[in-house]
Structure formats: structure tokens, C-alpha cells
Amino acid sequence: MSEGERTTIDKSESSSFEDLASAAAHEIEEAKLADAASAKIDKKEEKPQEEWQDVLGSGALLKKIIEQGDEASGERPQRSDICRISYELRLQDDPKNIIEKRDNLKIYLGDNEILQGLDLALTLMYRGEACLLRIAPRFAYGDSGLKPGESLGLVGEVDSPKYDGEAIGPETWLEASLKLHDWTEESEHETLPIAERMEIGIRRRCRGNWWYGRGESQLAVQLYRRALDVLDESEGGISDPTASGDLEPASEALHALLEERLRVHNNMAAAQLKAGAYEAALQAVSRVLTCQPQNAKALYRKSRILTAMGRNSEALEAARAAAALAPSDIGVRKELSKCEQKATRDRSVEKKLAKRMLGTAGQSKPEPEKKPSRAKMFIWSSLLLSFLVGVASVLVYRYKMQSE
């Protein structure tokens, strides 16, 4: 309130009722104006919610809220939380062409069990929120796109359905409707029954295989590592939790879990090899061979890894072992052939180096004596005959001089 207004109110204490009412009316009018200005500010703040928001600041992921969530709580899902979502994925230029549609799907946030654009958007959503998304190719199907007949890689389905729509190119933008129903924190793996751990591990391995098949080795490795998190043996051995808290050993279930874990290690070695992480790939495949020394696939991959590391003699040994176990496998035979050719080249190089070290490389073999040509022989014969005639003439001359 201004200084002038305070003066007006003070004077009104000794003035008539009309003056007091006038001052009060003035204050009410100012309050109304203030409320109107505040309402305008609130409307300005709400207006951007109706527009497309640039989630990443690069224009590659745009979001438009169509249903407000529980923003008052301020809670958003965190990485590894189990989110229950519904979404519909379609082409931006052809919204009628629906690619995927899932309702009440449970996914592990941050595991790339769905397209990256959807995964990123969920981290900025509130419980109950629904939105529209425009997703750039790099956060959708990438440079590979998606062709009719290719797997959609739907999470939770071992035999994922095939895509039957129009070909999606490397420059194709997608549009999605996405709703976040709710979420829960991921449980401690040790508290889960073996059957559930197996289910989660297989789910992540299959999704990792899908990313690997699309050339996304890093994303595949991420899924394989997450699979190993739930498949790795806990302290004291893996057992089924019981109501009493006692742990009963489950040998058959443990064996199945071990088989699945080794399968994931084997696949991860292939993805790490493709990504150029040779040391990590060798460690992964070595874990498999420690438990299964006769695993032909692991030996084959070990050979390829060692070749990439330049350890050709060890690679040849692994390739021979793989070929002995899987003689009809075309890939194994090709790998063995490559290793043998490199071994031959290596031996040739070693021989040349040995000659240089011994100083014999620069020595040349003695050339065979060449027979003189006929022309040269005639010339030399003529010269020799002329010489002999000259000597004979001198001797005859001296003999005549002595006789006289």
C-alpha cells in the first residue's frame, strides 16, 4: 500500500462513513486488479503445456501433454523401476499405419526394452500422465529402419511378431501415444524365485539379441549385463525363497539358470567383439569355456576374438578345437581356413626374418659359368694364331742371322 493511501485512511477515521466506504472500495478494486494479473500469469504458465516441448533440446524428441499426471507429488520414475505403460506407435506421415500397440505393459525403465524415444520420455512423466511424442529416427529404428517381415522385438515375447506394414526408412519420423499408469521399484534379485529370475533373464537376453541383430552392439551389451544381474549366482548358491525363510537347494533349477547365464555370456562376447571391446569379450567367452570346455560356439568366438587381437597361434588352436566339435558348421570351417592361411603367412614372415638375422638374406647364389660364344672364340683363335706366326717369324729370322 502506498504512502498516499495510508494518509487517506488516517483521515477517514475522523471523517464521514462515505469517505471510509470510498477508501475500502478503492482497496477492493486494487485487489481485483491484482487477482486478474495473477490469473493472467497462471494462464501464461499453463499455455506451454498445450504446445510441443523439446525434451532433449535438439528437436529429436518432442512431447505434447494431453492428460496431466500427478504433478503435485513431484514423483517421477527412476532407472530400473518397473513401469506399467500403454502406447501406440505409428508413422508420423501416415498415422493410420500402426507399427506397435501395447496395453498395460510392464517394462524396466532404462533397459531399452522399448524404443529409446519412449524410454527417454518416461523419465520426465508423472503418474497418470498421457502424451503425444514425435520421435526422430535416431531414437526410433535408426539407420537400419524396419522392413516388412522383420521382427518387432517386442519385450516379453520370445517369438516376437513380424512387422507387416510399409518399409520404415532411416529418415522416418515416428509418432507415439504414451501413457504412464504407475510404477514400482525393482525387487532385490535374491528375493525372487528362480522361475521369475529365469523369466526376466530370458526376456532381457531376447531383447539384447534383437538390438544385436540391428547392429546396436552397445545396447545389446547393456541388456546382456542386466540379464546377468538377475541370473548371477548369489552367495551360498541360488535357491528358492520359502515362507519360513529357510533356503532349499534346487539343483535342477540351478542347472537351468547356469545354462541360461552361460548363454548370455556367450552372446555378450559376440556383441563385445563387434563393438571392439576385445578384452571384455575374451573374459566373457572364457567364463563359458571354464564351465563348458566343449562348447563349439564359444570356441569359435574365442578364435575370432584372438584373431582380432593379433594372437593368431592361439586363434588357430581354438579354431581347430571348434572344428573338431562341429565339423559340419560352415562358419567354423571358414574361421579355421582363415586361421590356417594366417599361420602359413606368419611362418613365411618368420623364415625371412630369421634369414635377415643370420645375414644370409643378402647373399646370392653363384651364377653358373657361361660358355663363350662362337664369335668370341673365332676372334681369340685368330689373335692367338697371329701371335704364333709372329713368334715363328722372329725365330726363323734369328736362325738365318746366326748361320751367316
- 206 and 149 within one domain: no
β-bridge pairing 82-91 and 98-108: antiparallel
Query: How many domains, the chain?
Result: 2
Q: How many CB atoms lie within 10 A of CB 402?
A: 7
Helix (H, G, I), strand (E, B) or coil at 84: strand
CA 216, distance to chain mean position in Å, is 4
Residue that the C-alpha cell 548363454 belongs to: 263
pLDDT value of residue 365 = 56
CA distances from residue 281 to 128, 304, 326 in whole angstroms, order as listed: 42, 10, 22
Residues in a beta bridge with 91? 174
- 200 and 101 within one domain: no
Dump the DSSP string for 312-358: HHHHHHHHHHHHHH-TT-HHHHHHHHHHHHHHHHHHHHHHHHHHHHH
Q: Look at residue 163 and tell me if it is in a domain.
A: yes
Q: Look at residue 35 and tell me if it is in a domain.
A: no
Q: Look at residue 139 and tell me if it is in a domain.
A: yes
- 156 and 199 within one domain: no
Domain CATH number, residue 159: 3.10.50.40
Q: Look at residue 289 and tell me if it is in a domain.
A: yes
pLDDT value of residue 97 = 87
Q: Look at residue 269 and tell me if it is in a domain.
A: yes
Which residue, among 28, 27, 33, 35, has the nearest Cα to 6 in the 3D structure?
A: 27
- 212 and 154 within one domain: no
- 110 and 161 within one domain: yes
pLDDT value of residue 171 = 93
pLDDT tens readout for residues 337-353: 999 998 888 888 878 88
pLDDT value of residue 59 = 94
Rounded to an integer, what distance in angstroms lies between the CA atom of residue 249 and that of residue 239?
5
Last residue of some domain: 269, 295, 323?
Answer: 323
Q: Which range marks the domain in which residue 122 is found?
A: 50-186
pLDDT value of residue 174 = 96
Q: Is 138 exposed, middle or buried (0-12, 13-18, 19+ CB in 10 A)?
A: middle
pLDDT value of residue 236 = 44
Helix (H, G, I), strand (E, B) or coil at 86: strand
pLDDT value of residue 242 = 52
pLDDT value of residue 402 = 67
- 214 and 181 within one domain: no
Grid coordinates in use for 21?
Answer: 466506504
Which residue, among 189, 318, 196, 207, has the nearest Cα to 267 in the 3D structure?
A: 207
- 77 and 165 within one domain: yes
pLDDT value of residue 366 = 56
- 292 and 231 within one domain: yes
- 134 and 55 within one domain: yes
Q: Look at residue 26 and tell me if it is in a domain.
A: no
- 127 and 223 within one domain: no
Rounded to an integer, what distance in angstroms lies between the CA atom of residue 102 and that of residue 280?
36
Q: Look at residue 105 and tell me if it is in a domain.
A: yes
- 102 and 225 within one domain: no
- 298 and 173 within one domain: no
pLDDT tens readout for residues 297-314: 999 999 999 999 999 999
Rounded to an integer, what distance in angstroms lies between the CA atom of residue 302 and that of residue 295?
11
Last residue of some domain: 296, 323, 350?
Answer: 323
pLDDT value of residue 160 = 79
Kindly give the parts of the chain with pLDDT less than 70.
1-50, 158, 233-250, 359-374, 396, 399-404
pTM for this structure? 0.71
Query: Is residue 131 within 8 Å of residue 64, measured between CB atoms?
Result: yes
Last residue of some domain: 277, 292, 323?
Answer: 323
Dump the DSSP string for 147-176: -TTSB---TT-SSPPBP-SSPB-TT--EEE
Helix (H, G, I), strand (E, B) or coil at 185: coil
Domain CATH number, residue 208: 1.25.40.10
Q: Look at residue 266 and tell me if it is in a domain.
A: yes
Rounded to an integer, what distance in angstroms lies between the CA atom of residue 263 and that of residue 257?
10
